Amino acid sequence: MEYRIERDTIGEIKVPQDKYWGAQTQRSKENFKIGDEKMPIEIIRAFAQLKKAAAISNNKLGKLSDAKTAAITKACDEVLEGKFNDHFPLVVWQTGSGTQSNMNVNEVVARRGNELLKEQGSEEKIHPNDDINMSQSSNDTFPTAMHVAAYEDIYSRLLPALSQLKATLLNKEEAYMNIIKIGRTHLQDATPITLGQEISGWRAMLEKCEKMIKESAEHLLNLAIGGTAVGTGINADPRFGDMVAAQLGEQTGYSFVSSDNKYHALTSHDEIVYVHGALKGLAADLTKIANDVRWLASGPRSGIGEITIPANEPGSSIMPGKVNPTQSEALTMVAVQVFGNDGAIGFAASQGNFELNVYKPVIIYNFLQSVHLLADGMISFDVNCVEGLEPNVEVIEENVNRSLMLVTALNPYIGYEKAAEIAKLAFKEGTTLKEAAIKTGYVTEEQYDEWIVPSKMVNL
């Protein structure tokens, strides 16, 4: 491998000749050989948007030449196109402010910008600190990139996946609204419900989660940019933060604003904790839905077996023909990871000391992982399970007819205690509810047939 010599304030260091990063990135790469978790590409993309917006804003403020601005803007666009993905090698486990990833972007954009200037015959030279990082500090750019990446991923990745699953559930809800089945509470038989009504509960969960995620995500539109090192905005024009936020809005289509209190924006990550709480709520509801599906599909002959799910792959290496609820299992494992991420994010966010929180990389890594896992998990669950979910009508009808909890409909006519006596008698003697009711003498056959009508018990 061929190398070139790069220099920073520490001294000289060898950098691979074919890489666009510089000395500070190389030092981080060598000093933090910890784990395999790389800084998410979404953060790099957010940084590219930010550096582009910063260059345009500094140009408008008269601080950056037109030639440099054009070169930086072009270089940032190329980063956004994915042309330099291999040039951002740093791991999550680095400085807690994310300084080294900020400099990684600064160095790559500066080197590419200088190539563009040279191609144009310009003698100007772009410096990663003085030009790309002008009016900025890692302390305000990294949390800004965190919010930009988080908001973008929620709207471009998570919410579309949620909408897809929600739409499928709505279709199933409407299709199965008149299929009467037995309800269950405490894992025990309860009064009747329709399969469509049961699925409507699942669909409503996703609607509520969608609303809570959108509401909480609005707090991510507040950006730390303009606060620089400690929130005072040292070395930045007082207008810079607002200008960058507005420019980011033009570039992304999102209504970003510069936070009205930068001291809060640098040291607190309560907005991300809040939004991830909504993601945890989604994970909790997805766990419930996935568990319901695998319970209802259990068996198929020795379990509940009221629905069937697609047989996507052999379920056992030893038992031929076995079909397992693998999509439910995958989705609930995703939820477990999200619950763990929530704990890590909450603890990391509590560690802000004085003017800076230095757990930023692990916070955003876990946040974005939750978004990605939930989005991918919902799509997989939808395509490979929910779309192929079908009722086993014969089993559903048999379970309704065998249920002792239909006796609840007799309460208004004979009272709770007599109705309970009928249910206990049927259970003890292994007879039908109708046979037990008539045997007690509390109701006639005609009364039973009139009062015990499952279709009248589901409130359609």
Element (H, E) at 185: strand 180-185
| 262 marked as part of a ligand binding site | no
Please list the residues that pair with 357 across neighbouring strands: 352
DSSP-based three-state secondary structure for 18: coil
What CATH code is carried by the domain that includes residue 58?
1.10.275.10
Nearest to 237 by CA among 449, 23, 414, 57: 57
Same domain, 327 and 285: yes
pLDDT of residue 214: 98
pLDDT higher than threshold 90 for residue 315: no
Query: What tokens does 155 get?
Result: 């709207």
Instruction: Go through the chain and tell me how many residues it has.
Output: 460
Whole-angstrom CA distances from 167 to 163, 171, 207, 334, 390 are 6, 6, 10, 21, 16
Element (H, E) at 278: helix 270-296
| 216 marked as part of a ligand binding site | no
149: phi then psi, degrees, rounded to nearest 5? -65, -45
Same domain, 124 and 155: no
What CATH code is carried by the domain that includes residue 424?
1.10.40.30
The domain boundary residue, chosen from 393, 424, 444: 393
User: Taking residues 59-68, what's their average pLDDT?
Assistant: 98
Same domain, 116 and 197: no
Whole-angstrom CA distances from 43 to 1, 84, 152 are 29, 14, 10
| 97 marked as part of a ligand binding site | yes
User: Taking residues 108-119, what's their average pLDDT?
Assistant: 98
Same domain, 184 and 304: yes
pTM of the model: 0.96
Our count of domains for the chain comes to 3
Token pair 């897809």: residue: 164
Same domain, 110 and 219: no
User: Taking residues 31-40, what's their average pLDDT?
Assistant: 98
Q: How many CB atoms lie within 10 A of CB 31?
A: 11
pLDDT higher than threshold 90 for residue 321: no
Same domain, 443 and 335: no
pLDDT higher than threshold 90 for residue 11: yes
Catalytic sites, residue numbers: 186, 316
pLDDT in tens, 142-174: 999 999 999 999 999 999 999 999 999 999 999
pLDDT in tens, 421-451: 999 999 999 999 999 999 999 999 999 999 9
pLDDT in tens, 374-388: 999 999 999 999 999
| 185 marked as part of a ligand binding site | yes
Q: How many CB atoms lie within 10 A of CB 449?
A: 11
Domain range holding 333? 144-393
pLDDT in tens, 193-232: 999 999 999 999 999 999 999 999 999 999 999 999 999 9
Hey, what's the torsion of the CAs at 6, 7, 12, 16, to 10 degrees? -20
| 51 marked as part of a ligand binding site | no
| 129 marked as part of a ligand binding site | yes
Same domain, 275 and 200: yes
Would 261 be classed as within a structural domain? yes
Same domain, 230 and 331: yes
167 Cβ contact list (under 8 Å, min separation 6) = none
